[in-house]
């Protein structure tokens, strides 16, 4: 049975989608695969096109930032391949009764963020449709161009690589829950901490993280549904490697911890758009960390890629299998916050 909300599960993907991918084409270097953020098409003389597609759910809490989120969430999937996003098409769907100023604000923000990132909007579709409650990015396609040797897909991790995380876990979960439950959080937590949690909306991007790290990285992945744990697992699965993840190396910012504790969810398995997970040769890991720090992006070494099993070493020193996250705890927390 497919999930009630969120991405389809691995079994459904393997059973329904993967066997039915249209006409085969030898120029496809990277196609649909769990844990890989974008496709790579070989052009000529070593040039490649990187292309990614994403929807953006227009939940009420994100509407003031909806245009920003569309651009950065979609552009991040190209940037993690080590390629600068260049072109965008977008299908923006509006519910009946949408106010003109709402539409204008969303589109102005899309335009502004595309300008900042150097992305040209080259096409798409915009219309009003019944059956949806809020504006919806029905599908945003972002394209970039680069060289075959520079791409950094999640499937490119190498045994011996250092595993690095930027910003911390549960970035998206923290941002959206802090927005949705601001009033109840202010009753329990210091106002400055709640304000910092709400500001995580603008951390829900890995475009800058990825472009800084790309020259020295082997593999990169944006930890979205299933959070950090799923992001690490998907790199190992896509690369056919083992991995050792150390819980005591995972820095959880105070505001992330406080919001997740309030909703009784695990920050390591909660949706985390904005957390870049990457692998790099140990001799280059320090340079990546330094370059990220210079741009104000915190990052930490949290493990290594191995040739053996996929292991999660807990704070108490015990080890357990690193397994994919079956249910992201964010969704239940978010809808409970909507009802309160």
DSSP string for residues in 243-295: EEEEGGG----HHHHHHHHHHT--TTTS--TT-EEEEE-HHHHHHHHHHHHHT
Residue 12, burial from CB neighbour count under 10 angstroms (0-12, 13-18, 19+): middle
Task: Compute the distance between CA of residue 36 and CA of residue 25 in angstroms, rounded to an integer.
Answer: 18
Asked whether the beta carbons of 228 and 275 are under 8 A apart, the reply is: yes
The helix (H) or strand (E) run that includes residue 47 is strand 47-56
Cα 88 from chain centre? 18
Whether the CA torsion 260, 266, 267, 269 is positive or negative: it is: negative
Predicted confidence pLDDT, tens digits, the chain (340 residues): 666 677 777 788 889 988 999 999 999 999 988 778 899 999 999 999 999 999 887 777 888 999 999 999 999 999 999 999 999 999 999 999 999 999 999 999 999 999 999 999 999 999 999 998 889 888 999 999 999 999 999 999 999 999 999 999 999 999 999 999 999 999 999 999 999 999 999 999 999 999 999 999 999 999 999 999 999 999 999 999 999 999 999 999 999 999 999 999 999 999 999 999 999 999 999 999 999 999 999 999 999 999 999 999 999 999 999 999 988 999 999 988 887 6
| Domain spans of the chain, in order of start | 10-150, 154-339
Interacting residues of 103 by C-beta distance below 8 A, sequence separation 6+:
94, 135
End-to-end CA distance of the chain: 29
What pLDDT, on the 0 to 100 scale, is given for residue 31?
A: 92
What pLDDT, on the 0 to 100 scale, is given for residue 56?
A: 83
Q: Crossing angle, helix 254-263 and helix 191-198, to 10 degrees?
A: 90
Stated pTM of the model? 0.94
Task: Compute the distance between CA of residue 334 and CA of residue 202 in angstroms, rounded to an integer.
Answer: 19
Q: Report the CATH number of the 154-339 domain.
A: 3.90.650.10
Tell me the β-bridge partners of 1. Answer: none
64: which DSSP letter? G
Interacting residues of 30 by C-beta distance below 8 A, sequence separation 6+:
36, 38, 39, 40, 151, 153, 155
The helix (H) or strand (E) run that includes residue 312 is strand 310-313
Class of domain 10-150: alpha beta
62-106 residue pLDDT tens: 889 999 999 999 999 999 999 999 999 999 999 999 999 999 999
- What residue has token string 């900042």? 116
Detail the DSSP E strand segments found in 95-250.
120-128, 136-147, 162-166, 219-222, 242-246
Q: Measuring CA to CA, which residue among 114, 56, 128 is closest to residue 86?
A: 114
Q: Measuring CA to CA, which residue among 163, 338, 313, 173 is closest to residue 253?
A: 173
114-126 residue pLDDT tens: 999 999 999 999 9
């Amino acid at each position: 049975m497919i999930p009630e909300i969120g991405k389809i599960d691995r079994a459904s993907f393997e059973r329904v989608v993967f066997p039915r991918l249209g006409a085969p084409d030898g120029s496809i270097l990277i196609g649909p695969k769990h844990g890989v953020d974008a496709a790579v098409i070989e052009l000529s003389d070593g040039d490649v096109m990187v292309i990614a597609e994403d929807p953006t759910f227009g939940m009420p809490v994100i509407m003031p930032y909806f245009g920003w989120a569309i651009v950065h969430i979609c552009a991040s999937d190209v940037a993690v391949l080590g390629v600068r996003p260049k072109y965008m098409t977008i299908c923006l769907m509006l519910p009946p009764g949408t106010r003109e100023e709402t539409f204008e604000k969303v589109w102005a923000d899309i335009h502004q963020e595309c300008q900042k990132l150097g992305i040209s909007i080259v096409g798409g579709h915009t219309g009003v449709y019944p059956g949806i409650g809020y504006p919806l990015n029905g599908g945003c396609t972002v394209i970039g161009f680069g060289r075959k040797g520079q791409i950094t897909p999640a499937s490119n991790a190498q045994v011996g690589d250092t595993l690095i995380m930027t910003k911390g876990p549960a970035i998206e979960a923290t941002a959206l829950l802090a927005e949705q439950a601001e009033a109840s959080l202010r009753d329990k937590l210091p106002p400055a901490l709640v304000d910092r949690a709400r500001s995580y909306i603008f951390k829900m991007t890995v475009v800058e993280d990825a472009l800084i790290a790309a020259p020295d990285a082997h593999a990169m992945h944006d930890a979205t549904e299933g959070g950090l744990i799923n992001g690490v697992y998907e790199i190992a699965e896509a690369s056919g490697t083992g991995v050792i993840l150390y819980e005591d190396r995972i820095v959880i910012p105070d505001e992330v911890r406080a919001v997740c504790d309030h909703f009784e969810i695990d920050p390591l398995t909660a949706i985390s758009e904005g957390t870049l997970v990457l692998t790099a040769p140990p001799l280059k890991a320090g340079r990546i960390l330094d370059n990220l720090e210079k741009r104000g992006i915190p990052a930490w070494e949290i493990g290594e890629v191995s040739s053996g099993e996929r292991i999660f070493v807990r704070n108490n020193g015990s080890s357990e299998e690193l397994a994919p996250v079956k249910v992201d705890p964010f969704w239940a927390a978010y809808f409970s916050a909507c009802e309160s």
